[in-house]
Amino acid sequence: MKQKNRKNNKASIFSIGNVLLLIAILIYPAYFVAWEYPQRRDVWGVLDRAQISAESEDMYDLVDYAITTLENRNGLISGRLQTEGNCALIFQTPDNSLDMQYTAMKNIRTRLERTNGFDKSSMEYQAAIDDIRGTIRELPYLDCYIWHWEAR
């Protein structure tokens, strides 16, 4: 009789452990999707808004915010910064290089700093803003939030 009770106790402890594990597996993704993901995600939407901004100052603020957000963002699984490495495991090319994309975004910010000093009615200002808009439009939107490998 004692042996049967011990088996039942072990089975109930095992069942409770499985239920707790199942709850944890279901709760964390729900928390992540509802709370964490939307707060960490807004890099490319900000760049889209920067691209259609009318003034270079607004563009600068949005690009600076996108860069700051990218600098403060770590990969979900790897925990690495989203400003280095690649989004590909095997075929690591400049197209999926986070280093190159981060450098391009910093260059855009530097160009916008210089553009802020131009006369807004000048042809030079308009040409610079159009060129920057085209550069932002051509940036590949890399999102390695989950899959992220370090370049080797």
What are the sequence ranges of the domains in the chain?
A: 1-41, 42-152
Identify the pLDDT of residue 42.
66
Separation of alpha carbons 69 and 61, rounded Å: 12
Closest to 82 measured CA to CA, from 91, 71, 92, 90: 71
Separation of alpha carbons 67 and 140, rounded Å: 15
Whether pTM > 0.75 for this model: the answer is: no
Question: In angstroms, what CA-CA distances link 107 with 26, 63, 134?
Answer: 42, 10, 14
Identify the pLDDT of residue 150.
47
SS3 152: coil
Identify the pLDDT of residue 125.
94
**Single-letter code of the amino acid located at 127:** A
Per-position pLDDT tens, the chain of length 152 = 555 555 566 667 678 878 888 887 888 777 766 666 555 556 778 888 999 988 999 999 999 998 888 887 766 666 667 777 777 777 788 877 888 888 999 999 999 999 999 999 999 999 999 999 999 998 887 766 555 444 44
Separation of alpha carbons 143 and 98, rounded Å: 9
Using CB atoms within 10 Å of the CB of residue 134, give its burial: 0 to 12 exposed, 13 to 18 middle, 19+ buried: exposed
Task: Tell me if 43 sits within 8 A of 66, measured CB to CB.
Answer: yes
